[in-house]
A and B are shown apart, each in its own frame.
Chain A
């Protein structure tokens, strides 16, 4: 009985192959049922994202990995040789290590990305609904989720955004508690401005002003996003009255100058900080604007530099994250080893024996009054009792197929609290 995985990810499998191997929820259920029907797996779950399609499970077959690859070749009607050539696979430790690294974001295309945790949770949910998750895969996926959460809580692996959009949002989060109720000025009415405006409207900003050189075009965008158009010549005054300015025009010269904004800020008292994001190339907002008190200005170059620096510093967190993964692998293997190596029977025997001895000691005073032969009889009596109690569970733990045996072993461990240290 082996814990195995087979998968195709963004490193080994090209995009067109990954597209063909993708699983919808219906396909996931169908594949899992097929794997059970063909007795390839006795437990299993499928993780399917745009960057990977992987199956994890328990196989009693010696050729389990080959059988899995063969099944997917038939299931997806993909050339068997191509699948085997691009597949990642492993058994035992390698399986848990791979899933834990995936959960930690160490195997992701963008190092440390957090979406994968939700995708693993979804894989577990689908397999549970299909009835293919039992003792081992349940523990494996729960441990993976725990490992992923620990990595995110204890390292900075996923904390620093590495995309311009992610950075813009992170900056907004450092300046404002939330964008809800904030006023925004968009300078420009092109594609970038429109896309950003729609995202901001979804975030619950209270008002979006649009300043565009062509007032009509600005008015059209404002109408589409339920905003308000302002005259091009009023843009500096409008900037002084909002919380966030986002500029993305094609202008060759800066459209928001430090002089105009300073004058506007003096004329329009404001309460909070002003965040200015200049997403245009060449720049729309004069760099000196960033030197004004309470104004925080960022341009595209700056954002890209910050993104690159963040990507580099994420890499520094990898050893720490790998250490957490290894600790999780060790813990899982200890649990798994306990199930497989007959520890349950041994543990149960030791527990009952310790209870027997403790009880005899408790009554040592009364037993002391007996003769040697009576004491030996009591000793034999208690030994026989323990042996009889142990007989049925010992036989029962060896019955059934692999998964059933594991489930019974886990139940005995939990019911008799065999994982707890004796007090």
Chain B
């Protein structure tokens, strides 16, 4: 079977598995039957395996990294979200992130699978290990920020239910405030580290590849937006470590992810010409 077709089939399989996992995770919030939770995890794992498979098959088809365009990187982003969900679930034996992370992974995969956008030009800047690492680390950072956003939303939900003295209902099955706060800071730190290295590699790569053809590459809005996002998250984490209240950290963490979404979508597609590899 040709690699492109296999990539497409595995993409659809991952999409179906993520959809089932999302439904089951959401159901597990309201119903306590253990089998539902286990099935949700099983489909998340199956989806992640297929997602990895589709990335691999795509890389074989393209003879390069599979996420050198927006849709490919969306697939990678979905994969990271699913993987972070599985790792956190196994590490803490807690499924409360699933209903937040798996729908997000599903949405990214839907976009990536439903729209086929072959890369038209075989640009030299899209090849090489530095480019691959740059994209991978940036995607990992964005996935970590997505997890931080989900943890922050959960923090606000649990905090509100405690203020309202509601000890029962779906919110009562969520983790404790102190766990959510700690996990949020860990996710932010992982995201910042990953984005810092990823950006550094990107700048290094761009300085080598674009200096002749695009001498104004330093002014690319995508780069400045990414640096601004990094600065914002560093501010949030430093503030939290210096003792800022967890509620305000949670709110800023959610706001930060809105910046990530903006950087990932509008800035990428509409503003930045240098980072648009689809045309």
Instruction: List residues of chain A with CB under 8 Å of any chain B CB.
Output: 153-156, 159-161, 167, 170-171, 173-177, 268-273, 290, 293-294, 296, 298, 302, 305-306, 310, 313
Contact = CB atoms under 8 A, between A and B. Distances in A.
Most buried by B among A175, A176, A271: A271
Contacts of A177: 175-176, 178-179
Given A273-B159, A294-B245, A302 B181 contact: no
A158 to B, nearest CB: 12
Contact of B178 (A154, A156, A175): A175
B167 A167 contact: yes
A411 to B, nearest CB: 32
21 contacts: A153-B33, A153-B34, A155-B32, A156-B32, A161-B167, A167-B167, A170-B167, A175-B176, A175-B178, A177-B175, A271-B181, A271-B240, A271-B241, A272-B181, A272-B246, A273-B177, A290-B163, A293-B248, A296-B163, A305-B165, A306-B167
Most buried by B among A160, A270, A272, A298: A272
A294 B246 contact: yes
Interface of B: 32-34, 158-159, 162-163, 165, 167-168, 172, 175-179, 181, 240-248
Given A153-B32, A174-B158, A273 B178 contact: yes
Most buried by A among B167, B181, B244, B248: B167
Q: Looking at chain B's contact residues, is the secondary structure mostly helix, strand, loop, or mixed?
A: helix
Contacts, number: 74
Contact of B167 (A153, A174, A293): A174
B167 A310 contact: yes
Nearest to A273: B177
B122 to A, nearest CB: 50
Nearest to A172: B176
Contact of B165 (A153, A159, A306, A313): A306
A171 B162 contact: yes
A171 B176 contact: no
B167 A160 contact: yes
B177 A175 contact: yes
Contacts of B242: 269
A108 B179 CA distance: 34
Nearest to B185: A271
Contacts of A173: 176
For the complex of A and B, 10 pairs with smallest distance between CB atoms: A269-B243, A294-B245, A176-B178, A273-B177, A177-B179, A177-B176, A296-B162, A175-B177, A293-B247, A293-B245
A393 B78 CA distance: 62
A153 to B, nearest CB: 6
Most buried by B among A154, A155, A174: A174
